[in-house]
Amino acid sequence: MQKRTSLDTTNLMRRAEELINAASNRYRITVQVANRAKRRRYEDFDNLDDPMMKPIRRAIIEMSDELTSTEIIGE
| pTM of the model as a whole | 0.72
Look at residue 7 in the predicted model and tell me its pLDDT.
55
Overall average pLDDT of the 54-72 stretch = 80
For the chain, the C-alpha Rg in angstroms (whole number) is 13
Q: What's the total number of domains in the chain?
A: 1
The answer for residues whose C-beta is within 8 angstroms of residue 65's C-beta and 6 or more apart is: none
Look at residue 3 in the predicted model and tell me its pLDDT.
52
Q: Give the residue numbers spanning the domain of 8.
A: 2-73
CA angle 34, 19, 41 (to 5 degrees): 25
Look at residue 53 in the predicted model and tell me its pLDDT.
79
Look at residue 31 in the predicted model and tell me its pLDDT.
95
